């Protein structure tokens, strides 16, 4: 019976309807921790710890899927890619380019869940920055799942 009410409530929510009293009958879905539900979109702003040329002017973006993840500093053109490990809570992405002298130019991002956010470190040879990533406001999936 409870499962039937949940499905009815979800269907009505998709249609934009509200059943009077139905919300009180179904316990609210609490915001899940990042460790338990890491998948989806995460945004935040990098804060420089040391160095120069850190991408701290705009919003950075991380997306985690079961088999791949990306991190985009300042939502720019550079995409760091990786494979998440939910079991070990290890989220690593990197991009290795060449500088003007044909030397490797590594860009690395490491993150770990902390309550309902991710704490991350971004590094290049000339920059070190940290970031707190949160789920974006008004994300359609968050609205459907009634996450705050």
pLDDT along the chain (148 residues), means of 10: 50 47 37 86 96 93 96 95 92 95 95 95 96 83 56
Residue with tokens 């945004």: 43
DSSP state of 16: T
Return d(Cα 136, Cα 69) in angstroms, integer.
Answer: 17
Residue with tokens 């919300």: 23
Do residues 44 and 59 touch, judged by C-beta distance below 8 A?
yes
Regarding pTM above 0.75, the answer is no
Taking only the tens place, the pLDDT of each residue in 25-64 is 333 334 578 999 999 999 999 999 999 889 999 999 999 9
Two tokens, residue 102: 């044909």
Return d(Cα 134, Cα 136) in angstroms, integer.
Answer: 6
């Amino acid at each position: 019976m409870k499962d039937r009410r949940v499905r009815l409530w979800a269907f009505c929510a998709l249609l934009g309807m509200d059943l009077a009293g139905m919300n009180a009958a179904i316990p609210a879905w609490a915001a899940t921790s990042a460790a338990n539900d890491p998948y989806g979109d995460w945004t935040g702003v990098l804060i420089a710890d040391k160095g120069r040329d850190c991408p701290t002017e705009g919003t950075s973006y991380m997306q985690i899927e079961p088999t791949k993840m990306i991190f985009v500093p300042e939502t720019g053109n550079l995409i760091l890619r990786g494979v998440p490990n939910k079991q070990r809570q290890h989220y690593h992405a990197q991009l290795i380019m060449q500088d003007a002298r044909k030397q490797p130019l590594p860009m690395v991002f490491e993150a770990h869940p902390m309550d309902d956010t991710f704490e991350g470190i971004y590094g290049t040879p000339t920059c070190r920055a940290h970031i707190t990533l949160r789920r974006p406001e008004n994300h359609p999936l968050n609205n459907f799942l009634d996450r705050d």
